[in-house]
Amino acid sequence: MEILTAERECTFKLPGVKKEDSGNYTCVYSEDKQPVNTVSGVEKNAIFIQVTDFMMAQIFVKTPHVFEGDNVDVKCTHFNVKTPKILHVYLCKDGIGVSVAAAQTEEASFKLRQVSKEDSGNYSCVYSLKKHVTSSVTSTSFKNSVIIQVTVLTDHERASIEMDVHHWWVNVIRLLCSVGVVIAAVAVLIIHNFCSKRRHTIKKK
């Protein structure tokens, strides 16, 4: 591209860029007019522009370390676009799309149900204005990603947790029964005092 100017600064606009426009860009200048296709730049002063269908989003997981059989809630947010159009948000595992959701706001939610050991991996979020086949979506950057680790319990560990849960419920029931007994005793005492005062008042009359 060429601009004729006497200013110390000039701006080029690349309209409607495509993937093929990705590459290293440099600026050079000359006092003499040269054919554009014969001009070459210096690579050390270049910037690389990447044109892609996908943009990275932030990913949030409340608890990345979970047990087998748990449900995991994943949220994708911070979409860097200013458009009223629907965005197609993709959840990727180890760089490959595994799920898609449509978003019109600043957030898209995913739920991993009853996870297993095979669900462990590096998860990230990307989004696009275009709809793609989920399995064809890729995420090459792990900068904005989280590692979900699924722990598989042995039969002994599972039995131990179930026993702890059982004891916890037993203690809660005992506490509720104790509180119930106290409330009943207080109620009986109040009723007794009320009846005693009423009988005393009737006798005076």
Domain containing residue 19: 1-51
Give the pair of three-digit tokens for residue 29.
Answer: 């200048």
Is the backbone of residue 141 left (phi > 0), alpha (psi -120 to 50) or beta? beta
Q: Are 24 and 110 within one domain?
A: no
The residue out of 107, 122, 152 marking a domain boundary is 152
The residue out of 51, 70, 88 marking a domain boundary is 51
Q: Give 69-101 pLDDT, tens digit per residue.
A: 899 999 998 877 766 678 899 999 999 999 999
Q: Are 129 and 166 within one domain?
A: no
- The CATH number given to whatever domain includes residue 140 is 2.60.40.10
Residue with tokens 């995420």: 139
* Cβ-based neighbour number of residue 97 at 10 Å: 20
Q: Give 56-76 pLDDT, tens digit per residue.
A: 889 999 989 998 989 999 999
Q: What's phi and psi for 61, nearest 5 deg?
A: -130, 125
Q: Are 66 and 19 within one domain?
A: no
Q: Are 68 and 40 within one domain?
A: no
Q: What's the pTM?
A: 0.59
Report the number of distinct structural domains present in the chain: 3
